[in-house]
Amino acid sequence: MSAIAVFSTDLFSARHTESILLRLIHLVYGSITYRHFNVIHVLVRKAAHFSVYGLLSAMSFYSWRVTLPGRRRWEFKWGGLALALTLVAASLDEFHQGFVPSRGSSVRDVALDMMGAVFVQILIASFTNLSTKTSNEPESNHR
C-alpha cells in the first residue's frame, strides 16, 4: 500500500510516465506516431491499475488467511475481506489524487482497480478448488 501511495504522487503523473515510456519505445522500436504512443501510454497506465490492485488483492487474501485461519469455507470470507481492503485502498488513492494538481480523481479508475482485484480472487478461488478436488480424489492402486 506504500507503493500505491507513491504511485499516486506527481512523480507518477501522466506527464512524467509519458517521457519515460516515450524514451523506452524510441529505444526499442524507433519512431512512433504521437497518436499511437497515446494509445500505448493509456494502456500501460490502465494495466498498472489492474495489476497493482490485483496484486494487493492477492496479498490481502493470503494475509487474511494467515491472520484468520479456518476451514476451507473461510475462503469466501478471506476473499471478501481482501476485496473490501482493496476497495478502501483504491478509493483513498483516488481521493488523494484529487488533491495532487498534476493528477485527477476518477471513479472509473476505482472500478478498474476492483476489476483487477476480482480477477485475482477468481483465479485464487479457481486454483484453490482445483487443488482441493485433486487432493480429495482417491489414490489409485497401480501395481
Give the helix ranges, DSSP H, for the chain: 2-7, 14-29, 34-67, 75-97, 107-136
Residue 143 has pLDDT above 50, yes or no: no
Which of 22-36, 46-60, 95-109, 129-143 shows the lowest mean pLDDT across its residues? 129-143
How far apart CA 44 and CA 17 sit, in angstroms, is 10
Residue 88 has pLDDT above 90, yes or no: yes
Mean pLDDT of 75-93: 92
Phi-psi region of 142 (alpha: psi -120 to 50; beta: other; left: phi over 0): beta
What is this structure's pTM? 0.78
Give the confidence band of 120 by pLDDT, cuts at 50, 70, 90. Answer: very high
Residue 26 has pLDDT above 90, yes or no: no
Let me know: does 77 contact 15? Beta carbons within 8 Å. no
- Evaluated on CA atoms 104, 114, 5, 85, the torsion sign reads positive
pLDDT at 67: 87
Give the confidence band of 9 by pLDDT, cuts at 50, 70, 90. Answer: confident
DSSP code at position 68 = S
Mean pLDDT of 77-87: 94
